[in-house]
Structure 1
Amino acid sequence: MNTDAIVRLVLMLGIPAFMMWREYKKMSKEERNEVKTDFTSKRFIATYGLVALSLIFLLVEPIFETTWVKVISAVLISFGMIVSSFFTWLNASSKCKAVLGIISSIIALAIFLWAIT
């Protein structure tokens, strides 16, 4: 087991999770319900949820030292970016801005896939 990877996992997941939990406790009842509905929506899960899950897999991969975790991470982030680009195209007021966003997403995805290989 890689101790550095475990520390990195705890720091990169633990600190943001603690900060989000602390802010969630400060919210009113209506704000909490709004956050729950936003986080459980199909759009959020299919876009940001898959990208976040992919990054978690990338943090877990050095602990177990298996390459198939990287493959799962690449598939999840690719699917999340494609769905995000689709929603960006559908909800864009200007298709020109949507095309620029989609092109930048494709470039970011290509750089990500190059970096993990």
Structure 2
Amino acid sequence: MSYFNLKFSDRDNELANFAKALALPVRIAIVRIIMTNNNSISKEILYTIPFNHETTTKHLAELKRMGIIKAHGLRGSIKYSLDEQLFKQMANGFAMLFESMRPAEHDVQSY
């Protein structure tokens, strides 16, 4: 089978894009801080990440552009949150992918 003619499913492309979006430690830190603050956080608190403000702002904007983070409120009092439905959808997709890679019970040999 030639990999050059391989067509990827929309689901595979979505999972890959989600993984790429979170592939940087600063983005994981942003997501983690939002999660640990009841999924609602101000930009000022996000600036506590040990990166300069421009770096944090750049990654926040990219996560927003990808739909992973949502912004709520008015200028000066904006709160950020994660798209929980997207995270659940992607988590289920990854779980199904990894589950399909596990050997069946009868395939596992005891040593």
Higher normalized strand content (fraction of residues): 2
TM-score, normalised by the number of residues in structure 2 = 0.27
